[in-house]
Chains A and B, each alone.
Chain A
């Protein structure tokens, strides 16, 4: 699994990026890390600063990927988002957390879904 899933991840993020560009997002940053968290993609969608979490899953995985974002994962994203806002000195901006899921079917084709405003900080 190890290498394969890593490659799928890289591939997934490429697909996600293209998809977001298609949707009119402007990509600002990829794989942003803070001490306790990370964000896959940071983008701008009109007035919003959007923190996007990309989730890959395939016919082999179990359950929905949105449900897979648990409290600890959420906290890590929120922490990274706060760090980002602080470092870039961004204030007075509407922010949003989106989740983008990429489902790989048995035949190798993919279905992409974007959940806007998927969660809040509490």
Chain B
């Protein structure tokens, strides 16, 4: 006797249909799962047995062969528990199926027969939505599944409920969500730029960075507020659009970061991996490649604290996604591409002890130590960071003062204006912000007036700006002009932009 139930498997951010075939034979009792299952799929045997018995069914006798077709792709995760259990109940005729075929069944089982939530529901429903119109999902995943319009989402709590539904004993009405309401109702960040004391010029620079999508390097002694400032960058970036939110949600869903965070990610992600994170952790990978930190900060901020403490190879692998806005990971099994359009915010101390250039403490590092510290950052990497900033230690009166300054909301208004100008400018191009202009576009869009040109020339001479730094200054100046809503770049814009080249001004090193 043979029964087939549809389920799904995820490859990257796409999903494909998996047929769970359950065959039973009258012979010595046992069970085998074929179709390249990984350990968590093979272990479903024990979960399924307990769940069936604890749901008031009888564990059927005989030998079961369970095939997950197509048999040549690796299957992972516990999402086949529910289809396997239902298959065994159908084969042993403990439920008589009334509903039509083609229903996709997904869900992990707990030993008491409850259906537990799984990862990757959104990508599965998006990929299969065109072909299959009905999906049985764990109740906790129902909102997420229903984000995909045009499919019937049947939420189930337990194996018993799923079985009753298949048998036609009970009716479950398809779950619906109001996407717009859900999108609007999500909480805001809960942090604000107004919380930060002092550091007016850093706030301004971060506003410029957010407006033009420029990557930032913050250099300052410990406790000067680098992390606090970085955390607040998402709050001044424009809110995610629905399309962007869905894409971020997809990435969070396959990585299992969605549990307990609602069905839809509406805030820009802020990821701050520790500096011991491996290159695979940053870029993504594994036997079946999973998204890394660069992809999880897609449309958001990737914050790397203690920048030079990261492994050299970790820093170098950042270069390609910074350039392309996506990462392609190839493994023997498969080659996958994940999006990675993020804003890099790096923070570091000026020297290993952190006190270099501090006004009231003296540094205890030797020049060689300082040099070694800075050498971790390669030229090509620094090349991709447009804004370099010093974040000085706060003065006593600043520390004791009440936090002042603009709220994130006000700053965000200006940022959104500037972004609007950019999206009009780059309509039809591959890029979306000033930071990604190529040399030709810089020539076209960064036109300086006479006075501005003079200032830039003298900056090149006096600050010894390199040719590379020249382009960066132009790009940043373009963003500053956009913030003011001006077509042409003026002297004060260039002057401000040269301020954001601390490293160049100090000769590549502090």
Tell me whether A and B are bound partners: yes
Footprint of B on A, CB under 8 Å?
A: 48, 78, 81-82, 85, 91-97, 117, 120-122
User: Which partner residue on chain B sits nearest A119 by CB separation?
Assistant: B29
A48 near B30 with CB under 8 A, answer no
B23 to nearest A CB, angstroms? 14
* Residues in B neighbouring A81, C-beta threshold 8 A: 28
Query: Can you list, as one digit per residue, whether each of B12-52 has a CB less than 8 Å from chain A (1) or not (0)?
Result: 00000000000000111111100000000000000000000
- List 10 A-B residue pairs with CB atoms under 8 Å apart, sorted by A's residue number: A81-B28, A82-B28, A85-B27, A91-B26, A95-B29, A117-B29, A117-B61, A120-B28, A121-B63, A122-B32
B62 lies within 8 A of chain A by Cβ: yes
Q: Which B-chain residue is minimally distant from A117 (CB atoms)?
A: B29
On whether the beta carbons of A93 and B27 are closer than 8 Å, the reply is yes
- The answer to whether A97 touches B29 (Cβ under 8 A) is yes
Indicate if the CB atoms of A94 and B26 lie closer than 8 Å.
Answer: yes
Partner of A122, one of B31, B61, B62: B31
Q: Mark B40-74, 1 if CB is under 8 A from A, else 0.
A: 00000000000000000001011100000000000
Contact A120 B31 (CB under 8 A): yes
Once the chains bind, are B59 and A117 in contact (CB under 8 Å)?
yes
B33 CB to closest chain A CB (Å) equals: 10
**How far does the alpha carbon of A78 sit from the alpha carbon of B29 in the complex, in Å?**
10
How far is A81 from B29 in the complex, measured between Cα atoms in Å? Answer: 11
Q: Given contact pairs A94-B62, A122-B30, enumerate 4 new A-B contacts (beta carbons under 8 Å).
A: A85-B27, A93-B26, A95-B27, A120-B29
A92 to chain B, nearest CB (A): 5
> Which residue of A has the minimal Cβ distance to B24?
A94
Q: How far is the CB of A47 from chain B (nearest CB, A)?
A: 8
B22 to A: closest C-beta gap in Å: 16
Are the C-beta atoms of B62 and A120 separated by less than 8 Å?
no
A92 lies within 8 A of B26 (CB): yes
* Min distance, Cβ B47 to any Cβ of chain A, angstroms: 15
CA of A97 to CA of B27, assembled, Å: 11
Q: Which partner residue on chain B sits nearest A95 by CB separation?
A: B28
Q: How far is the CB of A13 from chain B (nearest CB, A)?
A: 23
Inter-chain contact total with CB atoms closer than 8 Å = 39
B-side residues, CB < 8 A to A, are 26-32, 59, 61-63
Query: In the assembled complex, which residues on chain A have CB atoms less than 8 Å from the CB atom of B29?
Result: 94-97, 117, 120-121
- 8 A-B pairs with the lowest CB-CB distances in the bound complex, closest first: A121-B30, A94-B61, A120-B30, A120-B29, A92-B26, A122-B30, A95-B28, A121-B28
CB distance from B202 to the nearest CB of A (A): 63
A121, B65: Cα distance in complex, Å:
13
In the bound complex, what is the Cα–Cα distance between A121 and B45 (angstroms)? Answer: 13
Residues of B with C-beta under 8 A to A82: 28
Closest chain-B Cβ to A17's Cβ sits at a distance in Å of 23
Provide the bound-state CA to CA distance between A96 and B63, in Å.
10
Among B30, B31, B59, the one with the most A-chain Cβ atoms within 10 Å of its Cβ is B30
Once bound together, how far apart are the Cα atoms of A93 and B28, in whole Å? 8
Please, how many angstroms separate the alpha-carbon atoms of A94 and B27 in the complex? 5
Looking at the assembled complex, report how far the CB atom of B1 sits from the nearest CB atom of chain A, in whole angstroms: 12
Return the chain A residue nearest B25 by Cβ.
Answer: A92
Q: How far is the CB of B46 from chain A (nearest CB, A)?
A: 11
State A117–B62 Cα separation when bound (angstroms): 11
With A48-B61, A96-B61, A117-B59 in contact, do A85 and B26 touch (Cβ < 8 Å)?
no
B59: nearest chain-A partner, CB-CB: A117
On chain A, the residues within 8 Å of B27 by CB distance are 85, 91-93, 95
How far does the Cβ of A89 sit from chain B's closest Cβ, in whole Å?
13
Question: Which chain B residues lie closer than 8 Å to A48 at the CB level?
Answer: 61
Contacting residues, chain B, for A96 (C-beta < 8 A): 29, 61
Kindly state the separation between the CA atoms of A93 and B26 in the bound complex, as whole angstroms.
5
Give CA–CA (A120, B30) in the complex, Å: 5
CA distance A93 to B61 in the complex (A): 10
Bound-state CA distance A120–B63 (Å) is 9
Q: How far is the CB of A70 from chain B (nearest CB, A)?
A: 18
B residues within 8 A CB of A91? Answer: 26-27
Separation of A74 and B62 alpha carbons in the complex (Å)? 17
CA distance A78 to B62 in the complex (A): 14
Chain B residue contacts of A121, Cβ below 8 A:
28-30, 63
CA distance in complex: A92, B61 (Å): 12
B30 to chain A: which residues have CB within 8 Å? Answer: 120-122
| Minimum Cβ distance to chain B for residue A121 (Å) | 4
- Expressed in whole angstroms, the Cα–Cα distance for A91 and B25 within the complex equals 10
- Contact of B59 with A85 in the complex, beta carbons under 8 Å: no
Q: Which residues of A contact B61 (CB under 8 A)?
A: 48, 94-96, 117
Residue of B nearest to A94 (CB): B61
What's the least CB distance linking A120 to chain B, in Å?
Answer: 4
Minimum C-beta distance from B400 to chain A (A)? 69
